[in-house]
Structure 1
Amino acid sequence: MSMTSQTVLLHEISKLHSKQAQWEPYAWYKEMREHSPVFYDGDQDVWNVFLYDHAKRVLSDHQLFSNKKDRSFIPVPRDDNRSNVFFVDPPEHRNRRALLAHAFTPRSLEEWRPKIEAITEELITAMEGQTTVDIVQKLAVPLPVTVIAGLLGAPSKDREQIKCWTDILFYPYAKETYGDLVQQKAKAMKEFYDYLFPIVQEKRKHPAHDIISDLTKAELEGERLTDAEVVMSSIGLLGAGNETTTMLISNMFYAMLFDQPGVYQELRDDLSSVPKLVEEVLRFRFPSANDRQVAQDTTIFGHEMKRGQIVVAWIGAANRDAAQFPHPETFDIHRPENKRHLTFGSGPHFCLGAPLARMEANIALTAFVKRFSDIQPVEQFDVTEHLIDSGVGQSLKRLPIRLT
């Protein structure tokens, strides 16, 4: 199977090849919304939509746009086991999702709040007395992976190894490095699997109060999940549970320093603005996308889309659609309805972990704002030196900030 027959390469569609252009793709998003809102890429046989209404339709209408897809840009090895929620449609999707959903209900998460606060407190206390701190490595990376490992029931001492495996699994494919990456991902997947398998077996014998134990007891179509299925579900949740939340926390600090300098003081004066800032970061600075397969020939967007073709919904572009968000290129935490962004998706596949990601981001930022009176960028900061490839573009691998 050739590379392009199974993997969609987003940078080949966007033609954004420099780190800077991928970090700030917003001018390209605007150009596409205004001039090519429904764009067909002939090289890869992929449709692309950039407007809010179109993106929302692609994400939520599984009759037309299926999550059962032969190709994807999502760089995680795909396996079809019965517990995989990522590549199915309703009604199977509903049953599979229900297995995982009760772990992420507000009530279950409220039980976790004190633990998340304690982990945050420890990380922030470690920064005291320092003038400069790398907020990505000291907060945005360790918090989500520690929390999701704890929720699942994986030993927290292994969190660096878990983070390392999930980073490899989520690392995006590129033309030049494709063969090497396939091998690296297969190796990481095998090691991760071999690590989790005995943990799953142990929890089946001696269940504890965690998601892996719950999955060993869960039934699907009247049958228990196999150990292998529990392992694969856990890998999916461990990956999804730290990649995006790390990006959210990193981008919050970047936004406070560079998108709206001075907003930090506003949070200091009124902590109730913290959740508003979290939502505006999700809308304004989160270059996400998602893909689906066209399930039947359709002209819904005024073009002939053929069954079997892939369509990419550029969510980061949809979140700046002026028809939905007035003055979309302005970072404004007081924007009414900024929670209507599509960063966590829409419809049946709305991100299961959204309440957890929001909770972690809010806890982290509230604790931080209470502790430090101000933050400043370091001198001569060049963002391109601090970036790393991520699913859709670039994400921060380091962000040094000055603490007051």
Structure 2
Amino acid sequence: MATEQTILLQEISNLRSRQAQWNPYGWYKEMRENQPVYYDAEQDVWNVFLYDHAKRVLFDHEYFSNKKERSFIPIPRIMDNRSNVNFVDPPEHRNRRALLAKAFTPRTLEAWEPRIQTIVDELLTEMEGHSTVDIVEKLAIPLPVTVIAELLGVPTKDRVKIKTWSDILFLPYAKETFEDTAAKKGQAMQEFHEYLYPIVVDKRKHPADDILSDLTKAELEGERLTDQEVVMSAIGLLGAGNETTTTLISNTFYCMLFDKPAVYQELRSDLFLVPKLIEEVLRFRFPSTNDRKVVQDTNIFGPEMKKGQMIMVWTGAANRDETHFPHGEEFDIHRPGNQHHLTFGAGPHFCLGAPLARMEANIAMTSFVKRFADIRPVEGFDVLEHLTDSPMGQTLKSLPIWVEHQR
């Protein structure tokens, strides 16, 4: 993979420091107000920052296609994989997505709810008796990777390996370290593949009640998926299935500690506010992005965009667009309509795992709030010491918090 195929987000935003990447919201605001449709000549990439523009790009595959040769997405891609849902458009996309969608229907997830609750309870019990805990290490990381591994039918004892490979595959590219990062990803992809392949072969012979078994039986275009295609689907689901939810749970605690410290006691008095909290975190502190290829010349956003150019959708900026979210720079769990954020995308490519991510976060937060009387930041906490490179610039690799137990 060459740099020409990869859109380097840092080169567009020019957010170089960890602090700037963790808090890109000032730059988002500046772009919304001054350059809402911005052309980056060096990489030949258009950029949109307003809510209506972002939604149009995500929905309109007649103008903006997901069939693309270039992307900011850092996972190495195998383009001829028929089960890949990310680099096709409808109607082909519909058939591929249907293979995976069954695992994420409300009925299927409802059946998983008790198991997710059990996993959460076990993780919270391990925190009992400790006055400080690293909430990323003890909850945000193990919960999603355990759930997605169980859902897929992969041994959960291997969750540390799975998480390590996923983290490497999601490392962002930067100009200076491109070749090194690409080599690391290639190695992780190979190891991940070698790990999953025998599991898939065994599932085909001895199917169980899990997604991998379902995929070995599924048909696409009248043919069964090959073992290779099932493996690649599993890698995509295992990676995406824990990355986003880990970030969501980590950021939820950060928001409660630093963006609106009074909110924890509000939740204690009314647990029905937990889903509103989760949606506001997704809107307020989730600097996500999407990309598409321009498939026909257009000036629908003003400037002339040419067929073949790329367009970046800065959904983290769109989520604070004041025309859709008044006082968008404020964290407010009582905000009406905060669930209309674009963090999980929109249109045909709306994130398949969104219902699972929401369910895990809601169960985790409701259970945590019931069990612990209060939380506070630990003394001397400096966020810059707790960040790691991620597709979103920076995410929390650890978050030590002080917890008050029930009396």
Q: Same fold (TM over 0.5)?
A: yes
Over the aligned positions, Cα root-mean-square deviation in angstroms equals 0.6
Corresponding residue for 2:158? 158
Work out the CA distance in 1 between the residues paired with 2:202 and 2:397: 35
Instruction: Note the alpha carbon deviations across 1:362-390, whole angstroms, 9 max, x for none.
Output: 00000100110000001111101100011
Corresponding residue for 2:35? 36
Work out the CA distance in 1 between the residues paired with 2:351 and 2:64: 17
Corresponding residue for 2:67? 68
Corresponding residue for 2:24? 25
Per-residue deviation at 1:176? 1.3
Aligned pair count? 403
Alpha-carbon contact 1:136-1:398 (below 8 Å) kept: yes
Alpha-carbon contact 1:389-1:395 (below 8 Å) kept: yes
Q: How does 1:192-231 map to 2 (within 5 A)?
A: 192-231=192-231
Q: Secondary structure at the match of 1:174?
A: coil
Work out the CA distance in 2 between the residues paired with 1:2 and 1:246: 29
Q: How does 1:86-105 map to 2 (within 5 A)?
A: 86-105=86-105
Shift in CA distance, 163/2, structure 1 to aligned 2, threshold 3 Å: closer
Are 2:264 and 1:264 equivalent residues in the alignment?
A: yes
Structure 1, unpaired ranges of 5+: none
Corresponding residue for 2:318? 318
Per-residue deviation at 1:392? 2.2
Q: Secondary structure at the match of 1:374?
A: strand
Structure 2, unpaired ranges of 5+: none
Q: Secondary structure at the match of 2:127?
A: coil
Work out the CA distance in 2 between the residues paired with 1:59 and 1:32: 19
Corresponding residue for 2:301? 301
Alpha-carbon contact 1:291-1:310 (below 8 Å) kept: yes
Corresponding residue for 1:131? 131
Are 2:25 and 1:55 equivalent residues in the alignment?
A: no
Q: Secondary structure at the match of 2:312?
A: strand
Alpha-carbon contact 1:37-1:50 (below 8 Å) kept: yes
Alpha-carbon contact 1:10-1:392 (below 8 Å) kept: no
Work out the CA distance in 2 between the residues paired with 1:15 and 1:182: 21
Q: Secondary structure at the match of 1:312?
A: strand
Corresponding residue for 1:330? 330
Relative to the length of structure 1, the TM-score reads: 0.99
Q: How does 1:3-18 map to 2 (within 5 A)?
A: 3=3, 5-18=4-17
Alpha-carbon contact 1:297-1:305 (below 8 Å) kept: yes
Q: Secondary structure at the match of 1:58?
A: helix
Per-residue deviation at 1:262? 1.1
Per-residue deviation at 1:300? 0.8
Per-residue deviation at 1:177? 1.0
Instruction: Note the alpha carbon deviations across 1:134-168, whole angstroms, 9 max, x for none.
Output: 00011000000000000000000000000000110
Per-residue deviation at 1:2? 4.4
Per-residue deviation at 1:282? 0.2
Alpha-carbon contact 1:321-1:328 (below 8 Å) kept: yes
Q: How does 1:269-284 map to 2 (within 5 A)?
A: 269-284=269-284
Relative to the length of structure 2, the TM-score reads: 0.98
Work out the CA distance in 2 between the residues paired with 1:361 and 1:228: 32
Work out the CA distance in 2 between the residues paired with 1:334 and 1:2: 46
Work out the CA distance in 2 between the residues paired with 1:65 and 1:183: 31
Work out the CA distance in 2 between the residues paired with 1:166 and 1:104: 20
Instruction: Note the alpha carbon deviations across 1:34-57, whole angstroms, 9 max, x for none.
Output: 000000001111000000000011
* Same amino acid, percent of matched pairs: 73
Per-residue deviation at 1:393? 1.3
Q: How does 1:117-196 map to 2 (within 5 A)?
A: 117-196=117-196
Give the aligned residue type for 2:225: L
Runs of 4+ in 1 over 2 A off after TM superposition: none
